[in-house]
């Protein structure tokens, strides 16, 4: 899969992609999420946003994922790739930038009233099992002996909690960052190598 890569500084235009679609605007993402939820409005859903980064020679690749997880029965997901044309060496800077990118995606969904749209869609089915939880996943752990990121975790958690809409998850529960976004950070950005 060939994807378009955005280089820092970030442009005001956010574009997402997945295995079947490219250049999705935040409005397109909301449309796909809504369509996925309409397929089974009686299900319980988690709306998850998470970012991860990987340092490669000469650049750092950051990926932000947006996932609508139909609990026990699949998911729809997309991601945004951003390349910083330098190697991030500070753990705090990496974690802060990852958190900022997740917050940016969340704010885009907020502007579109995505959560309200999903709640309106699911509300008639709440007594038949419909539910919606919202999370921002932070790719950090709580154990100082295992995770260098634990030193900065509280600051990132407070930033997300200040938004007021999303609960925070950290390792090992933070699959939006630690599994989905992480998966797409592993290969170097092609155009950053040229």
How far are the Cα atoms of 86, 180, 184, 192 from residue 58, in angstroms, in the given order?
A: 5, 24, 18, 8
Check residue 191 and give its pLDDT: 58
Q: What pLDDT, in 10s, does the model give residues 142-159? A: 887 777 888 899 999 999
H-type helices in 83-168, by residue range?
91-111, 114-122, 153-163
pLDDT in tens, 62-85: 999 999 999 999 999 999 999 999
The pLDDT, as a whole number, for residue 89 is 93
pLDDT of 179 reads 93
Q: What is the pLDDT of residue 53?
A: 96
Alpha carbons 19 and 3: distance in angstroms, whole number = 9
- Rounded Cα–Cα distance for residues 88 and 125 (Å): 46
Closest CA to 35 of 70, 1, 63: 70
In eight-state DSSP terms, residue 58 is T
User: Looking at residue 141, what is its pLDDT?
Assistant: 82
The verdict on whether omega for the bond into residue 172 sits within 30 degrees of 0, i.e. cis, is yes
Beta bridge partners of 45: 70, 132
Query: For residue 10, what pLDDT is reported?
Result: 46
- The pLDDT of residue 1: 44
Regions of the chain with pLDDT less than 70: 1-12, 191-194
Number of H helices, E strands in the chain: 7, 6
Domain limits, the chain:
6-187
Per DSSP (E only), the strands in the chain are: 6-7, 44-56, 59-70, 75-84, 131-137, 167-169
Q: What is the pLDDT of residue 26?
A: 96
């Amino acid at each position: 899969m060939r994807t378009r890569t955005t280089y820092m500084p970030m442009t005001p235009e956010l574009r997402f992609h997945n295995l079947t679609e490219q250049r999705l605007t935040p409005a397109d993402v909301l449309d796909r999420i809504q369509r996925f939820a309409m397929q089974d409005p009686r299900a319980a859903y988690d709306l998850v946003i998470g970012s991860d980064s990987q340092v490669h020679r000469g650049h750092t690749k950051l990926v932000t994922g947006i996932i609508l997880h139909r609990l026990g029965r699949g998911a729809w997901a997309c991601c945004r790739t951003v390349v910083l044309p330098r190697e991030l060496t500070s753990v705090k800077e990496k974690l802060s930038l990852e958190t900022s990118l997740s917050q940016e995606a969340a704010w885009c969904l907020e502007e579109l009233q995505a959560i309200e749209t999903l709640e309106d869609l699911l509300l008639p089915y709440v007594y038949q099992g419909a539910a919606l939880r919202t999370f921002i996943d932070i790719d950090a752990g709580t154990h100082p002996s295992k995770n260098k990121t634990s030193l900065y975790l509280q600051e990132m958690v407070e930033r997300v909690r200040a938004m007021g809409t999303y609960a925070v998850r950290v390792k090992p529960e933070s699959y939006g960052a630690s599994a989905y976004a992480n998966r797409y950070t592993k290969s170097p950005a092609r155009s950053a190598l040229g």
